[in-house]
Chains A and B, each alone.
Chain A
Amino acid sequence: MASNISLSKIVKQKSISIGEATKRISDLGWAPSYFEEILKYPTDYKVDKAPKDPMKQVLRSYFPMQEEKDNRVYGALDAALRGNMFRNVEPRWIEWQKLFLAIIPFPEISAARSMAIQSQIAPGEDLRTGYTMQMIDEFRHSTIQMNLKKWYMENYIDPAGFDITEAAFGKCYATTIGRQFGEGFITGDAVTSTNIYLQVVAETAFTNTLFVAMPSEAARNGDYALPTIFLSVQSDESRHIGNGHSFLMSIVKEPENLDLLERDLRYAFWQNHAIVDAAIGTIIEYGTQDRDKSKESYAELWHRWIFDDYYRTYMLPLEKYGVKIHHDDVEAAWNRIVKGNYVHKVAQFFSFGWPVAFWRIDGMVEKDFDWFEAKYPGWYNEFGTYWENYRKASLPNQPPLMYLDSGYVYPHRCWSCNVPALIREDFCVDEVDGELYTYCSEVCRWTHKEAFAAEYNGRPTPAMGRFSGRRQWEECYHGWDLADVVKDLGFVRPDGKTLIQQPHLHFDDSRMWTLDHFRGLEVRSPLLDLRAMSPADREKHIANYRAGFTCKPI
């Protein structure tokens, strides 16, 4: 007699197919008939078509998958400690993580909030699971990053700066860019913010430099924790990229959306370039001790991830739908990096502003000079003297470099991207609603004046957001004494006098700067000073600013 028992019958339990499961799940929604929902976050786009779910995943498999990813991440952190990672880690690198990890959790959690908005405007429920997973993923990213930061704080030689992290995020001269990023995901037109700015540009293009390129550099500096965390984070991004593309495909075929898509792709690409390349470019190039000339420079990484992968394979194909792509902006961004030395000028600004930072900024030495010269020919001529000055002024036996006669001119800040106007010849000004503003570039001027406005190309855009508030950090402390500024910022160690920030990596009280070294030095806002000038003086000032400066030995 044949047995009814077989191995496959014992071990296999058939479930409904994933296709059937996702079909039934997308049918959970309905059109309400008793009460009408009011769209809380509107859009000027026409959104009629339901986006399709490209991932076909259900929560039943999602949660165990994520738990397993977490187990690997936290297991790796334990292993790193057992392997004594911090004995060999490069402090130059970890110090920059005080800045990066202060910034990144807020944009992450903003992305979770963003899913509340996009899921409300997207017709149908096909993509609901995708939005749900992205919402929870972003919750994961913010808390996993906070946890990594705590781990650094507990195990790295100098915890100061990590210990004030979220307070520092709200106060530092360099973290406003992170708020521009995070607030941009949740404020203004629902499609502009959640789809184009967040998913289509930030996640699809720039997470590659953030979460893939940067971890590689971390590993080169003996930091195995950051790659573990961030490559795990990046593994979630493919879902978000899929969500974003699916939603984009649902709106791109509407002719009346094309001018808004052109506007938003332009704004989002340029601002992502300005913000992400500033921060991540600096951290990768100036936070490393690894000067292997065979590794890719940030410019080379950018060309691979942004130009080849994103521009050529994602942006360009949108032209077939009639979307106007600003090829000139992509080229201009590339030129800012390779010809305008954007990243190097940002690093120069960061280091010049060390007195109001909350991390240590190590100076560059001959080994670094060689590498920069090899990767960016002409680097030494433009930046060598500056970094030699920085080294000379690193100990507290004279005022900080910012107050020495070194030739460097503290920059104006861009009202749009919040990064200073560092490529001086591109500096521009304009008036919006009768007030004078400064910009790093023509596209940033356009972004503020024309994109974030009540109408665009003659059509009303009532859903579009606005740049508002005290966007320029320097305004907050115009005319203050530097010591009072730092005290107000809270960037002081527990002894009440030693600064958290130092322009060196000496872990020795005798070489560390204190509040007393800053007394009598005034902080000024270039914008307020510019606004106070007569028209003639202002014109002269702008011309001089655009002409640039030359560093001289101190």
Chain B
Amino acid sequence: MSENLQASGAAGSATFAGSDSRRYNYYKPEGKRATLYEDVTVDVQPDPSRHLLQGWIMSFADGTPSYSEKSTAIKSSDWHAFRAPDQEWSRTHYQRQSHIENTIKMVVDNARGDGAPGRFDQGWVGVLQNQFGALKHAEFGLGVALMKAQRDGMTQMINNTILTNASYKLRLAQDITLYLGDLGLDISIDGDAGKQVWLNDPAWQGVRKAVEAILAASDHLEIYFAVNVVFEALVGELFRSGFIMRAGPVHNDFVTPAVVSAAASDYRQNLANTVTLIGQLTGDPAHGAANKKVMQGWLAKYVPLCAEAARDLRGIWSLQDNGDLHYDTIAEDSRARFKDILVAVQLNLPADVSL
């Protein structure tokens, strides 16, 4: 009671049962010791199969509870096993995103101050206006799909990983938008042209179709899979790293590659998360075979769309002379990387699907 208070409320000022219990003890860390990411993430979204004594106490009209395993076709023996390799929680996420934004701003401001956009090849300016301008809509669409998908996962680890992926995509879409807007203050760029290309140019209709297919999906893991296993490997990285980053310098543009380089880094991080999660699910001792079957179905659905999208983009490499940069070589690299990803997640290219 208050009349007999301890002199200090500090750790170590008294010894009694439990006075040294200074770690979260309700979950098993992945490694020897819990990481900060684990401590602030694990079990924050409760689960009737772990600590949720009363189960979910609200449901939809059809009886589906607030969180339901039926929200995905995938099954898991332990949804709680997944830990994102990037270990992102809010502070590290803000630090990384802020670092990217500040770097882009510094690069773009310095380049503009130096008059660099005025030295871009005229034809390249058209590419930035139309093709790079169209890409921002694809990135935005994927961000929207991922934002929707972060609602439904069975654990905080899964949902937060999808959430940060959404955040990266939406940031990238805005980065491109603002960059083109800023360029337009220095050189002639039509800010609306990219959207028209996105909506109407045949070269982009395959990409739009693939993105809209992902947007229309309602299974959160299907969305996450389609974005990172298929689309990014076959289309996103093909265009960003295989064209914009490599063609830019040929046309006196060192700025745009710097803006888009963050996306390559984003994808490496998101791919690591994806491969870990999907690999756990395909390797699940009880449900692995069934999960592979579902994912093979996803491959059958998205690979043709993304392969067609990649082929449709081919002409963009030929709009100008890009030196020794050729679509076929880049596309071959991208297909090889995609196959490597499939191996990593223990899946096969469906027999009737070609790249």
Chain A interface residues toward B at CB < 8 A: 13-16, 20-21, 24-25, 27-30, 32-38, 40-41, 58-60, 63-64, 66-67, 70, 74, 84, 86-92, 94, 105-106, 109, 112-113, 115-117, 119-120, 128-129, 131-132, 135-136, 139-140, 142-144, 146-147, 150, 153-160, 163-167, 169-171, 176, 179-180, 183-184, 186-188, 222, 289, 362-363, 365, 367-368, 391, 394, 418, 454, 462-471, 473, 476, 489-490, 493-495, 497-498, 500, 504-509, 512
Query: A-facing mask of B18-44, CB < 8 A → 1, else 0?
Result: 111111111100000000100111111
Chain A proximity of B146: nearest CB distance (Å): 9
Q: Is the CB of A494 within 8 A of B21?
A: yes
A146 touches B181 (CB 8 A): no
Q: Which residues of A contact B185 (CB under 8 A)?
A: 14-16
CA distance A466 to B60 in the complex (A): 6
Pull 15 A–B residue pairs with CB atoms less than 8 Å apart, ordered by A. A13-B109, A16-B181, A24-B178, A25-B178, A40-B148, A59-B171, A109-B159, A147-B40, A147-B91, A157-B14, A166-B26, A180-B58, A473-B53, A494-B21, A509-B16
Chain A residue numbers with a CB within 8 Å of B40 are: 142-144, 146-147, 150
| A365/B57 contact (C-beta < 8 A), A15-B178, A166-B24 known | no
Q: Does B240 contact A (CB under 8 A)?
A: no
- Report B1 CB to chain A, min CB distance, Å: 5
Shortest Cβ gap from A447 to chain B (Å) = 12
Stretch with Cβ within 8 A of A (4 or more), from B206-214, B291-299, B331-339:
B206-214
- Contact between B199 and A109, CB atoms less than 8 A apart: no
Q: B126 in the interface, Cβ–Cβ < 8 Å?
A: no
Q: Across the interface, which residues of B come within 8 angstroms of A36, CB to CB? A: 216
B354 at the interface (CB under 8 A from A): no
Q: With A470-B54, A508-B14 as known contacts, state yes or no: A187 contacts B60, CB within 8 Å.
A: yes
Contacting pair B90 A70 (CB below 8 A): yes
Check A170/B167 contact, CB under 8 A, given A38-B218, A471-B57.
no
CB nearest neighbor in A for B305: A34
The chain A residue with its CB closest to the CB of B210 is A34
Query: Does A16 contact B178, Cβ atoms closer than 8 Å?
Result: yes
Write out the residue numbers on chain B whose beta carbons fall within 8 Å of the beta carbon of A92. Answer: 2
Q: Which of A59, A106, A159, A473 has a CB less than 8 Å from the CB of B46?
A: A106
Flag if B137 contacts A113 (CB, 8 Å). no
Within 8 A of A (CB), among B108-157: 109, 112-113, 136-137, 140, 143-144, 147-152, 156
Asked if B234 lies at the interface with its beta carbon under 8 angstroms from chain A, I say: no
Across the interface, do A143 and B91 meet the contact criterion of CB distance under 8 Å? Answer: yes
Q: Does B163 contact A (CB under 8 A)?
A: yes
In the assembled complex, B351 has its CB within 8 A of some CB on chain A: no
Q: Which of B5-13, B241-249, B311-319, B342-350 binds A?
A: B5-13
Which of A16, A21, A33, A504 contacts B212 (CB under 8 A)? A33
Point out the residue from B16, B27, B215 that lies within 8 Å of A32, measured CB to CB.
B215
Residues of chain A within 8 A of B46, CB atoms compared: 106, 166, 169-170, 179
The reply to whether B53 and A67 form a contact with Cβ atoms under 8 Å apart is no
Whether the pair B53, A183 counts as a contact (CB closer than 8 A) is no
For the complex, give the distance between the alpha carbons of A322 and B169 in Å: 40
A-B complex: 5 closest residue pairs judged by Cβ atoms: A170-B51, A493-B18, A116-B151, A160-B18, A167-B26
Among residues of A, the one whose C-beta sits closest to the C-beta of B50 is A170
Q: Which residues of B contact A (CB under 8 A)?
A: 1-6, 8-14, 16-27, 36, 39-46, 50-61, 63, 65-66, 89-91, 93-95, 97-98, 100-102, 104-105, 109, 112-113, 136-137, 140, 143-144, 147-152, 156, 159-160, 163-164, 166-167, 170-171, 173-175, 177-178, 181-182, 184-185, 191-192, 195, 198-199, 208-209, 212-213, 215-216, 218
Asked whether B59 lies within 8 Å of A468 as measured between CB atoms, the reply is yes
**In contact, B26 and A507 (Cβ under 8 angstroms):** no
Nearest CB in chain B to that of A488: its residue: B53
- CB atoms of B177 and A117 under 8 A apart: no
Does the CB pair A84–B10 fall under 8 Å?
Answer: yes
Given contacts A131-B147, A188-B60, A362-B1, contact A34 B94 (CB under 8 A): no
Chain A residues with CB under 8 Å of B66's CB are 183, 186-187
Contacts of A157 in B (CB 8 A): 6, 8-14, 19
Please tell me if the beta carbons of A494 and B17 are within 8 angstroms of each other in the complex: yes
User: For residue A64, which residues in chain B have a CB less than 8 angstroms away from its CB?
Assistant: 98, 101-102
Q: Which residues of chain B have C-beta atoms less than 8 A from A289's C-beta?
A: 2
Q: Given A28-B173, A156-B10, A495–B17 Cβ distance below 8 Å?
A: yes
Q: Given the complex, which residues of A lie within 8 Å of B199, measured CB to CB?
A: 30
The residue in chain B whose Cβ has the minimal distance to the Cβ of A454 is B61
Q: Please, which residues of chain A bring their CB within 8 A of the CB of B21?
A: 159-160, 163, 493-494
Alpha-carbon distance A158/B54, docked complex (angstroms): 28
Q: Determine if A500 and B147 form an interchain contact, defined as CB atoms under 8 angstroms apart.
A: no
> Is there contact, CB below 8 Å, between A464 and B61?
yes
- Measured in the bound complex, the distance between the Cα atoms of B89 and A66 in whole Å is 13
- A394–B1 Cα distance when bound, in Å, is 8
Given A146-B41, A159-B19, decide whether A505 and B6 contact each other with a Cβ distance below 8 A: yes
Q: Is the CB of B150 within 8 A of A113?
A: yes
Which residue in B57, B156, B181 is a CB contact (below 8 Å) of A470? B57
C-alpha spacing A189/B187, complex, angstroms: 49
Are A469 and B61 interface neighbours, CB within 8 A?
Answer: no
Cβ–Cβ < 8 Å partners of A58 in chain B: 174, 178
Distance in Å: Cβ of B205 to nearest Cβ of chain A: 8
**Given A180-B58, A188-B60, A470-B54: A86 touches B10 (CB 8 Å cut-off):** yes
**Contact residue among B109, B149, B175, B178 (Cβ-Cβ distance under 8 Å from A116):** B149
Q: Is the CB of B6 within 8 A of A91?
A: yes
- Rounded to whole angstroms, the CA-CA distance of A33 and B42 in the bound complex is 40
Indicate which residue in B89, B140, B150 contacts A28 across the interface (CB closer than 8 Å). B140
Residues of A close to B44: CB separation below 8 A: 105-106, 109, 142, 146, 166
B93 touches A179 (CB 8 A): no
Q: How far is the CB of A106 from chain B (nearest CB, A)?
A: 6
**Chain B nearest CB, measured from A109 CB (Å):** 6
Given A140-B94, A512-B16, 10 more contacts at CB 8 Å? A24-B178, A27-B195, A28-B173, A32-B212, A60-B175, A88-B9, A165-B24, A465-B59, A469-B58, A494-B18
**Nearest CB in chain A: distance from B206 CB, A:** 10
Return the chain B residue nearest A137 by Cβ: B90
Closest chain-B Cβ to A444's Cβ sits at a distance in Å of: 14
How far is A279 from B151 in the complex, measured between Cα atoms in Å? 27
Determine whether the beta carbon of B19 is less than 8 Å from that of A507.
yes
User: Are B24 and A469 in touch, CB under 8 angstroms?
Assistant: no
Q: Name the residue in A15, A394, A493 with the highest tally of chain B Cβ atoms < 10 Å from its Cβ.
A: A15
Contact B57 A24 (CB under 8 A): no
Chain B residue at smallest Cβ distance from A514: B17
Note all chain B residues with C-beta closer than 8 A to A156.
9-11
Q: A128 to B109, alpha carbons, bound, how many Å?
A: 26
Contact assessment for A507 and B16 in the assembled complex, using a CB-CB cutoff below 8 Å: yes
B39: nearest residue on chain A (CB-CB)? A150
Contact A59–B101 (Cβ < 8 Å): yes
Q: Enumerate chain B residues within 8 angstroms of A497, measured Cβ to Cβ.
A: 17
Determine the distance from Cα of A331 to Cα of B58 in the docked complex, in whole angstroms. Answer: 28
- With contacts A28-B140, A136-B167, A170-B53 taken as known, whether A158 is within 8 angstroms of B58 at the C-beta atoms is no
- Contact between B163 and A112, CB atoms less than 8 A apart: yes
Contact, CB under 8 Å: A24 / B191: yes
Docked CA distance A163–B36 (Å) = 14
Identify B57's interface contact among A70, A144, A467, CB under 8 A: A467
Question: What separation, in Å, do the CA atoms of A115 and B94 have in the docked complex?
Answer: 19
B residues in contact with A506, CB < 8 Å: 1, 4
